[in-house]
Amino acid sequence: MKHVLVTGGAGYIGSHACKLLAQQGYVPVAFDSLVTGWASAVKFGPLVQGDLLDRDALDAVLAEYDPIAVMHFAALSQIGEAEREPGRYWRNNVLGSLNLVEAMIAADCKNLVFSSTCATYGDQDGIVLDELSSQKPLNAYGGSKQAVEEILRDFGVSDGLEAVVFRYFNVAGADVDAEIGEWHQPETHLIPVMIEAAAGARGALTIYGTDYATPDGTCVRDYVHVMDLVDAHLRGLEWLLEGKGSRAFNLGTGTGFSVKEVIAECKAATGHDVPHSIGPRRAGDAAALVSGSRRAIEELGWTPERSTLRDMIADAWRWYQTGGYSG
């Protein structure tokens, strides 16, 4: 059996990666602390509860399953929290990842697919970002992810670790079969917050700023469907198994949508109004962040087929109606 260790495999993106891996004949082993993940999201392979800061637990899971590769999703990822508690992010995201890499080297497992972020680029407003754009993160979340990228490069030189790094933008949507989906408690991401507002499960959505230099004054972001995202991760795994070496890829559609456009599409997709109010700008919000993904398209053969707003919102709405992991 071809085992793949999936850190954060009980989380939003990790659980979707596990489903796709299982469909493609791999056995995904979810390694998750369950601090933000859900045991009920682990449906496609074994769950090992453990923490990246626990080296003994990492050594044990690597010894038991002898994976051909690791997909590394586990991380703290809330920007506001990262600004308030930077030490927690540096400790969890960086030291945890260092533990993982050193355990992998000791176990002679040298293929890693790493979930990074566009936050490593910082505030480069109004340009299409590609893999050669300068990295200048603004907070401990982006900084910690950049630091892990540097760790991977260093261990590539010293120990032959091969890593595919994905820097992606706003992930949305859910499994098309509604078996798994996005379910954070509390929820902070725009599309699920918007869906909760449309369903009457929370108060009005706040639009933070309507005076940006964008067509309708609200922030513009690039959204990618979670199933398209994990398809790229599978392609990254296959890239490594074919011996093509370390590489970084951006993942996005190259098209941005404003907050107001997302709200309008939510109404069209769900048939419900989205109550919303206008608030002041938030510190650090760029007017527009859009990804260039030519490298992933040309080199991995990746196509974000389901990454339309209509599909992302419709799939998220279908998942929400199942009641999520608390339903």
Nearest to 299 by CA among 223, 248, 230: 248
From the list 26, 89, 121, 141, the catalytic residue is 141
Is residue 190 within 8 Å of 171, Cβ to Cβ?
no
CA distance 13 to 15: 6
Is residue 164 within 8 Å of 247, Cβ to Cβ?
yes
Question: Is 121 labeled as catalytic in the residue annotation?
Answer: no
Distance set, CA 44 to CA 14, 72, 238 (Å): 11, 17, 19
CA distance 146 to 47: 28
Half-sphere exposure of 155 (CA within 13 A, CB side): 24
Is residue 66 within 8 Å of 55, Cβ to Cβ?
no
Residue appearing with tokens 């392979």: 45
CA distance 235 to 247: 12
Is residue 32 within 8 Å of 8, Cβ to Cβ?
yes
Which residues contact residue 2 at a Cβ distance below 8 angstroms, ignoring those fewer than 6 apart?
25, 26, 27, 68
Q: Catalytic residue positions?
A: 141
